[in-house]
Amino acid sequence: MQSSTNNTTSGNPVFPGWYADPEGAVFNKRYWIYPTYSAPYNEQVFFDAFSSPDLITWTKHSRILDTSNVPWAKRAVWAPAIIEKEGKYYLFFGANDIQNNQEYGGIGVAVSNKPEGPFKDYLGKPLISQFHNGAQPIDQFVFKDKDGQYYMIYGGWRHCNIAKLKNDFSSFIPFEDGTTFKEITPKGYVEGPFMFMKEGKYYFMWSEGGWTGPDYSVAYAIADTPMGPFERIGKILQQDPKVATGAGHHSVIHVPKKDKWFIVYHRRPLGETAANHRVTCIDEMHFDDKGLIKPITITSGGVAPQPIK
Ligand code: FUB
């Protein structure tokens, strides 16, 4: 299935359907988006993905991960994060929306030889199945540092942790002080962490507010290390009552070899109030001459074509 609104801009949303928590990526000269299928929790038993050569025309890849291939995941599969390593694609996800350490679920990982899957459960169990520092094990992002170390940054319920992943992603390596999960929660943090590097600085972003309401939004900090400390700078993505509400849980796409940056996020169309009626959108992200992120203008038109050279 392919979708595009016209030839000049992507339009927002960039593809049809209720999809949230989009993780953008670039693989093999194509853009990819891995979203949550936004539906009642018991219907959230799979992920679809979408790919595009130019951010305009999107192809749907159905059921790239299905809980029938993940024995421990039953429902509420949420917020995928993807990385490529040595020719394999690792898809990290939350499942089961656990409420305490007696329930089974948490953050898992699946693997495939292709970005479009099919993905198979990698470990046969969750990678994180417990609450640490008060963080619900959901909303993981995997960040590769400049020295090659992979970190998992994750957490719901207003707590954010960072942990050092083992090279094979099978578990974690404790930090020098012996702890495995370090809390890095900035002021205002609720969930949906994301990190990227620009000109040697670590940009840490997260969602604030409640995802079911209109005030969901994104704020950020800048630090010299992936561990922070993260001083909140301000909000850069939020609702515009003339365009859409509940804009949040985002990721960032950096166009290879260009100083072009896009924010991929979900929002609720005007007139919609149902929690799961969330759509995936893209708008351009700009920086000022000090490297600060300028507030994002959310649009109905979306973005201009960006073929990858
Ligand atoms: O889509 C399910 C949950 O909603 C995500 O895990 C949260 O971040 C919020 O976007």
Cα(139) to centroid(ligand 1), Å? 7
Cα(309) to centroid(ligand 1), Å? 33
Mutation to probe ligand 1, out of 211, 216, 237, 281 (largest number of atoms < 8 A from CB): 211
Q: From the candidates 21, 23, 139, 208, which is the catalytic residue?
A: 21
Contact 61, 49 (CB under 8 A): yes
Ligand 1 atom nearest 139 alpha carbon = 6
Q: Is 23 a catalytic residue?
A: no
| Range of weakest confidence among 2-6, 25-29, 100-104, 260-264 | 2-6
Ligand 1 atom nearest 207 alpha carbon = 8
Dmax (CA) for the chain in angstroms is 55
Q: 19-235 — its CATH code?
A: 2.115.10.20
Q: From the candidates 139, 191, 208, 283, which is the catalytic residue?
A: 191
Give the pLDDT band (50/70/90) at residue 214.
very high
Within 8 A by CB and 6+ apart from 190, the residues are 156, 158, 206, 207, 208, 209, 210
What does the pLDDT look like over 42-99, one tens digit per residue? 999 999 999 999 999 999 999 999 999 999 999 999 999 999 999 999 999 999 999 9
**DSSP label at residue 54:** S
What does the pLDDT look like over 96-155, one tens digit per residue? 999 999 999 999 999 999 999 999 999 999 999 999 999 999 999 999 999 999 999 999
Kindly tell me if the per-residue pLDDT of 6 is higher than 70.
no
The pLDDT of residue 151 is: 98
The pLDDT of residue 212 is: 98
Mutation to probe ligand 1, out of 44, 96, 136, 139 (largest number of atoms < 8 A from CB): 139
List the residue whose alpha carbon is closest to atom 3 of ligand 1.
78
The pLDDT of residue 291 is: 98
Q: Is 21 a catalytic residue?
A: yes
The pLDDT of residue 2 is: 54
Task: Enumerate the domain spans of the chain.
Answer: 19-235
The pLDDT of residue 295 is: 98
Mean pLDDT estimate for the chain: 97
Give the pLDDT band (50/70/90) at residue 7.
low
CA 101 and chain centroid, separation: 24
What does the pLDDT look like over 185-211, one tens digit per residue? 999 999 999 999 999 999 999 999 999
- 139 CB near ligand 1 (under 6 Å): yes
Cα(61) to centroid(ligand 1), Å? 21
d(CA 156, CA 270): 26
What does the pLDDT look like over 252-298, one tens digit per residue? 999 999 999 999 999 999 999 999 999 999 999 999 999 999 999 99
Tell me what the mean pLDDT of segment 158-169 comes to. 98
What amino acid is encoded at 54 in this protein? Answer: D
Is the pTM here over 0.85, yes or no? yes
Ligand 1 atom nearest 38 alpha carbon = 1
Number of Cβ within a 10 Å radius of residue 141: 24
d(CA 39, CA 141): 22
Q: How far apart are the first and last CA of the chain?
A: 24
Number of Cβ within a 10 Å radius of residue 308: 16
Kindly tell me if the per-residue pLDDT of 233 is higher than 70.
yes
- Look at residues 193, 257, 283 and name the one whose alpha carbon lies nearest to residue 230: 193
3-state secondary structure of 269: strand
